[in-house]
Structure 1
Amino acid sequence: MSLKQVKTWHWALLALVLFFTADWAIRRPDARARELNQVLEATASAPLKAYPYPFRVLRVEQGMAVMGTPRNFDVPAFRVIAVLFPEINVKDPNNPAFVEAQQTLAARQTEARLIVSAQPGIQGVKWELDKTWLGAHGIDMPAR
């Protein structure tokens, strides 16, 4: 390998490291969000801890905890459940397993919200679609 190739390789590696570091720093939760996530992890029920989607506080804005969610009007629950529980037939809205999975998702999300909103200084919870998690699990985001 020539000296020029080594220098090019080092610059490419440095650029890659800087890109991932900057991306992490931008999405990294603030200190208060990290504290709330620690409380959430410590006080969550066993079913919430074991749930395949990790409900987390993304940031805190003026007393409102912004939490990630895998579902909203743009990404309905059936798309998320198909990823979380691939064995469930999500095309049949009357399928008892699908109905139960929807209820469980709602219950886990409610538990996470209640734990976080009960913390000192938190006035409420605002939900934000977790685009990073959805993208990592192959769920396309609708164009807006």
Structure 2
Amino acid sequence: MDFRVREINETLQSDHTLSDYPYTFRVLSLENGIAEVSSPRSAQMSAIQGLRILFPSLQNASAVSDEMMSAQEELARVQSRAGQLVSEQEDVNQVRWVLDEKWLSSYGVYVQ
């Protein structure tokens, strides 16, 4: 399956929408038709916290500011695109989003 994971990740990397975004969505594993895909947000980590890492200019932006709302919409659009590309693979039946704790820890953010 590692080969398939690499193939799907190459598909993600070759997509212009995804390659232009500052976060790299990637398949972590593919087992029994379930693809685990990395994400900078989850129930444990709000989109706003992730966006402040992705876009340092949002560090002091209000959660309800136009800039933050626009960034959240863009993240949702790009993540949806990643999910679509992964779910289109014939051997993928389900996409499961997984918080990218390794990426977060590289910015000094640790999730418990």
SS of residue matched to 1:110: helix
User: 1:47-62 counterparts in 2 under 5 A?
Assistant: 47-62=17-32
Question: 1:116 corresponds to which residue?
Answer: 86
Q: Could you report, residue by residue, the CA deviation over 1:61-107 in whole angstroms, capped at 9, with x for unpaired residues? A: 10111100111111101111111111125551221000000111111
Compare relative contact order (CA 8 Å, sep 6+) and give the higher one, 1 or 2.
2
Which portions of structure 1, spanning 4 or more consecutive aligned residues, are displaced by more than 3 angstroms?
A: none
Query: Gaps spanning 5+ residues in structure 2: where?
Result: none
Larger Rg: 1
Root-mean-square deviation (CA, aligned residues, Å) is 1.5
Structure with more helix by fraction: 1
**C-alpha distance in 1, partners of 2:85/2:20?**
16
Structure 2 counterpart of 1:65, from 28, 35, 60: 35
**C-alpha distance in 1, partners of 2:108/2:39?**
15
Question: 2:51 corresponds to which residue?
Answer: 81
In structure 2, the CA distance between the partners of 1:89 and 1:95, relative to structure 1 (3 Å rule), is farther
Q: How many residues align?
A: 112
**TM-score, scaled relative to structure 2:** 0.92
Question: 2:64 corresponds to which residue?
Answer: 94
Question: 1:136 corresponds to which residue?
Answer: 106
